[in-house]
Structure 1
């Protein structure tokens, strides 16, 4: 999956799940790791990172 696709998936996931999108992406990483599908798990990790960037810095 290229960088443009990762960003598009992250934006779509955020539109659907809102603040829960990051948790959803993390769950997908775990699911694919458990199945032994490292390539897809890596793609979901990249989507998870893109979601973190969409959220911006954590402000306390």
Structure 2
């Protein structure tokens, strides 16, 4: 997934879940890992990091 898509997913996830968005992305990553889909899990980990970054920027 490219950086633009990651940012878009992170923003949408944050709008939908608020402060729980990072945890939701982590849950989705774990689910992908359990299914053996490493590439999708990596994408969700990137979304998780983007949510964390965005959330930090919003709190300043």
TM-score (norm 1): 0.92
Structure 2 counterparts to residues 21-60 of structure 1, below 5 A: 21-56=21-56
The reply on whether 1:4 has 2:4 as its aligned counterpart is: yes
The alignment of Structure 1 onto Structure 2 pairs a total of residues equal to 58
Greater helix share, structure number:
2
Unmatched 5+ stretches in structure 1:
none
CA RMSD of aligned residues (A): 1.3
Moved over 3 A (4+): none
